Amino acid sequence: MKKELGIFTFSDLLHHFPFRHVDKTKVNLVNEISAETEYIQLAGSLISFEVLGHRNSKRAVGLFKDESGIIELAWFRGTNWIQKSLTTGTSYLVYGRVTYFQGKPQIVHPEMELLTAEKQEGKNYLEPVYPTTEKLRAKGLGGRQIGKLTQALFGVLQQKNIPENLPADILKQLKLTDRFNAYKEIHFPQNNDEFEKALRRLKFEELFIAQLKVIRLRNKRHRFSRGVVFDKVADLFNTFYKRDIPFELTGAQKRVMKEIRADTAKGKQMNRLLQGDVGSGKTIVAVLSMLLAVDNNYQACLMAPTEILAQQHLNNISAMLKDISVSVKLLTGSTKTAKRRQVLDELKKGTINILIGTHALIEDDVQFDNLGLVIIDEQHRFGVAQRAKLWEKSETPPHVLVMTATPIPRTLAMTAYGDLDYSVINELPPGRKPIITVHRNESHRSRVMHFIRTEIDSGRQVYIIFPLIEESAKMDYENLMKGYENVKAYFPEPKFRISMVHGRQPARQKDINMLRFVQQDTQILVSTTVIEVGVDVPNATVMVIESAEKFGLSQLHQLRGRVGRGADKSYCILLTGPQLGTDARERIKIMTTTGNGFEIAEKDLELRGPGDIEGTKQSGMLNFRLASIVEDKAILEVARSMAADLLEKDPDLISAENLPLKNFLEEKKSSVVWSKIS
């Protein structure tokens, strides 16, 4: 029992919840059996019993009689034991599934229990069925036997063993079952309605407690952290904002800037996650925030996940800031020694205001004069430990802004990142043309290639992406090579030029091949998903994804975001084999019907469940016993707002009515008081 199910204590047993209930609350009559009857419970007496056949063909047959008729009971296993445990002439309660043998109804392997006076009318609760394992079942601890243990436990449990932890007004407002009864009724409800109510109460409790914890964590950081103060908006910011931005900021960009300014002016460290779909304009937010830092005499740095992206940011940002007197420099792993020494020197002296780079920025010899702001682009490539290293680069920890283009569904963000501050750019700059997304299969290949040719003929560039999945790496790699040869056959040199990028190339080779595409030296880029993040080639208008059924939704969306960055109409072609599974079909359908990253992220969460979503696996925030952030979204929203309200009114949970809650949170191990049980 212990090893198999992880049940070591009474509390474990209490939390081993049934996965369904069996309705034995009614007792029917034999003559009520009809073609529709599935399971039935009967009360009557065993009028005959005999064992027939030998050895392997041994079976037991009994006749069972109630006031309305007779039905046959049959056993094909355990006949000896059955024979010993039943007595003819005795009254039993029989439960089982009705099947037909030679046109007559019978019950095979019925559950039998002695009929007592109080069982005459059936049980007054639904009988729980618990998850168990084959091993335990073989030892006689099936799902129903576990129920007997749980029932015995409730025989001695009292209200005070499972004290209420939620404040009375929340219970009242949401009409929640009290805690003791919720535990009792999730195991032994009198009817389905009672079960649903118990389940809702316990789910709410789980989500509410989790929200309370993350919000408290966040409040604590807000109250006790120290941060550098950006209290003035001065020349650089204002001049750039008024004179140099070639467009009007979107409403969402303005809102996010306000949030960042408010956050960095308070003397507390900002720790903010900024989400915005691909192309939503996060870069300008980063630039404005860095100017804010410089206006306040601090340095800022921007860290990108790859050399190409860092270089791209440098080019973009230097161009944007060419009329502003700030010094912007680059530092990556391939910065030459002499140049590197110079950058490090200027950085230390404080003459560099903005440093852009890669992982190279976190090395120990990179020392700032007074670092005030760290911006991390495309966060999921950086671990938490790496982020922490950046904090240490300054006596007072710098503000941190993490920007991600992988939208995280709201419910997930609330739970897994609930302790971070969090901003969303939920609006694209005006005038964006939607990317036309279509699904094609193998039989359309030559038409797809023909289409690509017309785009190239009019001066555009094309991505062709192949899957590279760890489990099938060797085969995928061969497919990539075959695909590359294939593309070359369709698009022969020298008229067409193709470059290829994949993870097995040395980094330098990869960068050179990529750069050729960026500089429009090649028209086609054949690649694995290594290009997924952030690359910006506005002239590329077609994204072909081979074996699209093998990609997850978020990944497809990220890949698609590589096109549609220029003024021209763009296309995403999802190529698949002829046969698609249900999930793959669903993913393709979603991709061809919406371009909204948040909507796609929600669907992805629904299809895959929270366990597989990037960056949440280790969070441990999502291991709920009963609640699901997918199915119980509505409860989560309520729990979130109630937890926030409560902490707003009583941040330290000192009022009398919140005392049970405080005690519950502070009790380290068990949530149930066992002292009085023996």
Q: Which element (helix H / strand E) includes 640?
A: helix 633-649
601 contacts 407 by C-beta, under 8 angstroms = yes
Positions that interact with ligand ADP (CB under 6 A) = 247, 249-250, 253, 276, 278-284, 405, 429
Query: Do residues 575 and 442 make contact, with C-beta atoms less than 8 angstroms apart?
Result: yes
At its nearest, how many Å lie between ligand ADP and the CB of residue 545? 19
Q: Which CB atom, from 275 or from 296, has the smaller least distance to ligand ADP? A: 275
Nearest distance from residue 282's CB to ligand ADP, in Å?
A: 3
Please name the residues in contact with 674: beta carbons below 8 A apart, sequence gap of 6 or more.
9, 10, 11, 161
What is the rounded CA–CA span in Å between residue 202 and residue 209?
Answer: 11
Q: Exposed e or buried b for every residue in 482-515, given b needs 16+ CB within 10 A?
A: ebbebbeebbeeeebebbbbbeeeeeeebbebbe
Nearest CA to 538 out of 567, 496, 558 is that of: 567
Nearer to ligand ADP, 269 or 312 (CB): 312
Strand partners, 400: 271, 374
Cα 464 from Cα 545, distance rounded (Å): 6
Least distance in Å: CB of 594 to ligand ADP? 18
Evaluated on CA atoms 164, 166, 167, 171, the torsion sign reads negative
- Of 53 and 251, the one with the shorter C-beta distance to ligand ADP is 251
- CB of 284 or CB of 435, closer to ligand ADP: 284
Q: How far is the CB of 133 from ligand ADP (least distance, A)?
A: 49
Between 276 and 398, name the residue whose CB sits nearer to ligand ADP.
Answer: 276
Instruction: Specify burial of residue 109 (Cβ count, 10 A radius: 0-12, 13-18, 19+).
Output: middle
Judge contact between 608 and 176, C-beta under 8 A: no
Rounded CA-CA distance 129/142 in Å is 9
If the CB atoms of residues 317 and 636 are measured against ligand ADP, the closer one turns out to be: 317
**Residue 177 Cβ vs ligand ADP, minimum distance, rounded to whole Å:** 46
Question: Which residues contact residue 193 at a Cβ distance below 8 angstroms, ignoring those fewer than 6 apart?
Answer: none
**Least distance from ligand ADP to the Cβ atom of residue 240, Å:** 14
Q: Which residue is nearest to ligand ADP (CB)?
A: 281
Q: Phi and psi for 654 in degrees, rounded to 5?
A: -100, -10
**Contact (CB, 8 A) for 91 and 115:** yes
Rounded distance between C-alpha atoms, residue 220 and residue 651, angstroms: 10
Q: What angle do CA 374, 332, 401 make, to 5 degrees?
A: 15
In the complex with ligand ADP, the residue whose CB is nearer, 41 or 250, is: 250
Give per-residue burial for 467-476: e unless 16+ CB within 10 Å, then b. bbeeeeeeeb
Q: Helix, strand, coil proportions of the chain in percent (round to 5)?
A: 45, 20, 35
Q: Which is nearer to ligand ADP, 182 or 428 (CB)?
A: 428
Q: Write down the least CB distance from residue 253 to ligand ADP, Å.
A: 6
Opening angle at CA 273, ends 285 and 216, nearest 5: 140
To which residue do tokens 């002296």 refer?
349
Give CA–CA dist 410/338, Å, rounded.
47
User: What is the smallest separation between the CB atom of 608 and ligand ADP, expressed in angstroms?
Assistant: 24
177/280 with CB nearer ligand ADP: 280
Minimum gap (Å) between residue 318 Cβ and ligand ADP = 14
Residue closer to ligand ADP, measured from CB, 162 or 408: 408
How far apart are CB 381 and ligand ADP at their closest, in Å?
A: 15
Strand partners, 41: 95
Our CB check for ligand ADP shows the closer of 555 and 576 to be: 555
Residue with smaller CB distance to ligand ADP, 283 or 616: 283
Smallest distance from the beta carbon of 418 to ligand ADP, in angstroms?
Answer: 23
- In whole angstroms, how close is the CB of 292 to ligand ADP at the nearest point? 17
Q: Is 530 exposed, middle or buried (0-12, 13-18, 19+ CB in 10 A)?
A: middle
Minimum separation from the CB atom of position 283 to ligand ADP (A): 3
Nearer to ligand ADP, 62 or 279 (CB): 279
